[in-house]
Amino acid sequence: MKKENSTYNNILETVGHTPIVRLNRCVPQNQHNFYAKVEFFNPGGSIKDRIAVSLVAAAEKRGELNPGGTIIEATSGNTGVGLALVAAVKGYKAVFVMPDKMSQEKIDTLRGFGAKVIITPTSVSPEDPRSHYSVAKKLREITPNSFLANQFENPDNPQTHYETTGPEIWEQTGGSVDIFVGGAGTGGTLSGASRFLKEKKPSVKTICVDPVGSILHDLFYYKELRTPPAPYKMEGIGEDMLPKNVHFEVMDDFVQIEDKEAFLMCRDLLSKEGLFVGPSSGAAVVGAVKYSQQFKEPKNFVIILPDSGNRYLSKAFNDAWMKEVGFLDSPLQLKTVSDLVRETKSEQNIISVTNSAKVMDVIELLKKYGISQVPVFSEDKKELIGLIDESDLLFPLASGHIKAEDPVLNFIKGSILFVDWDDKLQKLAELFAKGYVALVKSPRGEMSLVTKIDLIDYLGGKN
């Protein structure tokens, strides 16, 4: 692993000895200390570089991988990048099998290393022949001189973290770590590092953050599945099967994390702490903060931030994607009718007519005020009847089907509704989709007519 104050024979020697950084603005300002082990400092951008180097070295030592051979692995991306890095330095070929929910950046990165990438469906069981686990095992069977890294079962995975990640945390914190927090995908990081830390200090608690939809939480607490596995957006943590490298005996508690809170914290870590990390890092921080709430006495938390945010530019850091999946509220949910009216319209008594008005009256109003629509009220002005639009009058007048003296009663459309001042713009959008126009009264009593064009103009100005 990394040598301090020295030159290196190749990039693989720079793996490890990542920094620990105090979190300040993304966590509560209370008696606890939250420290992040920042693993994107590894050359491949994630904590998986550690096991990539070790797994290949151990395979070479045992004669399982020979010169000119092929490295095969089922991966969520980061282990693949680490193994691709090793393959590039050592001259191996590489083939990786990934579920289709993984980010395009991970796929492109692997292909950039010259690796072959095979995409498999996410929504199948681990035993299904189409799963990324099954496909990787089959490739190993049919590919001569190949090595399946098998990070989920290979004991060299947790052993790597027992020998590197755990000792680094102990040394960097001077043994002051109280609570160790991270996610479990293969389980190697938590299982290995936790075993080392607990040997040094038995009181250290290890907390696993688990996405809602993963089965690990149920298996830890109940030894059985009580909630069926379900899809989730986080990558690299959580599982739909129990890997052999998840060692529950060195874990003390689990905290379940929703996708939305993980992705939002991931963005906060960048904007408030300057840490460009992925959603699993966000999940770990959210989990640490939640778990800390039960302690009154000060605790030192060490949180694993597994990878770089550059793997998630098309997802976590893409506003359009975040809105599409409901993690970022669009202006339709955040803004109200009052926001639109204040910004796009001057509050004034709206121009309207009663149902006894004549066509000529409406035409004069449209011309005088440069408007295209007029609400129609009952004679006592207490009931909103509907709307007259210039298009309702133009063609009938031009064709001679109506006269200027005719009453407007026959041309009223029942396509106008009142909306409240504090209604969300989402309600407006839904009304407009059905062909309605909206009328709103401000707290001071002024009325405004709001149309689809008004909403488009407002949202356009926001974007």
pLDDT tens-digit series, residues 349-374: 677 788 788 888 888 887 887 777 77
pLDDT (tens digit, 9 = 90+) per residue, 234-279? 999 999 889 999 999 999 999 999 999 999 999 999 999 999 999 9
Stretch (H or E) spanning 159: helix 156-163
Give the pLDDT confidence of 33-69 residue by residue, as tens digits.
999 999 999 999 999 999 999 999 999 999 999 999 9
379: phi then psi, degrees, rounded to nearest 5: -60, -35
pLDDT > 70 fraction of the chain, expressed in percent and rounded? 97
Which one from 48, 198, 299, 424 is the annotated catalytic residue?
48
pLDDT of amino acid 1:
56
Residue 108 CA to residue 28 CA, distance in Å, equals: 37
Inter-residue long-range contacts of 214-220, CB under 8 Å, 24+ positions, other chains counted: 214/238, 214/239, 214/240, 215/239, 215/240, 215/241, 215/242, 216/184, 216/242, 216/246, 216/254, 217/254, 217/256, 219/248, 220/248, 220/251, 220/254
Higher pLDDT, 182 or 335: 182
Identify the band that residue 398 occupies on the pLDDT scale cut at 50, 70 and 90. Answer: confident
182 pLDDT exceeds 80?
Answer: yes
Domains of the chain: 11-43+158-330 (3.40.50.1100), 48-148 (3.40.50.1100), 332-462 (3.10.580.10)
| Cα gap 217→251, rounded to integer Å | 11
User: Any bridge partners for residue 375, and if so which?
Assistant: 387
Judged against a pLDDT cut of 90, whether residue 377 lies above it is answered with no
Question: Residue 389 — pLDDT band, cuts 50, 70, 90?
Answer: confident
Please provide the average confidence, as pLDDT, over all residues in the chain: 89
pLDDT given for residue 5 in this prediction = 60
| Confidence check: pLDDT of 345 > 70 | no
- Amino acid letter, residue 21: V
**Backbone angles phi and psi of 336, in degrees to 5:** -115, 170
Binned at pLDDT 50, 70 and 90, residue 207 comes out as very high
Task: Give yes or no for residue 348 having a pLDDT over 60.
Answer: no
- Is-contact 67 55, C-beta < 8 A? no
With contact defined as beta carbons under 8 Å apart, do 398 and 359 qualify?
A: no
User: Using alpha carbons only, what angle is made at residue 76 by residues 70 and 80, rounded to the nearest 5 degrees?
Assistant: 30
| pLDDT > 80? residue 435 | no
Tell me what percent of the chain is helix, strand and coil, each rounded to the nearest 5: 40, 20, 40
What does pTM read for this prediction? 0.73
Q: Which residues contact 298 (CB under 8 A, 6 or more apart)?
A: 31, 32, 33
Q: Please, what is the end-to-end C-alpha distance for the chain in angstroms?
A: 47
- 106 assigned to active site: no
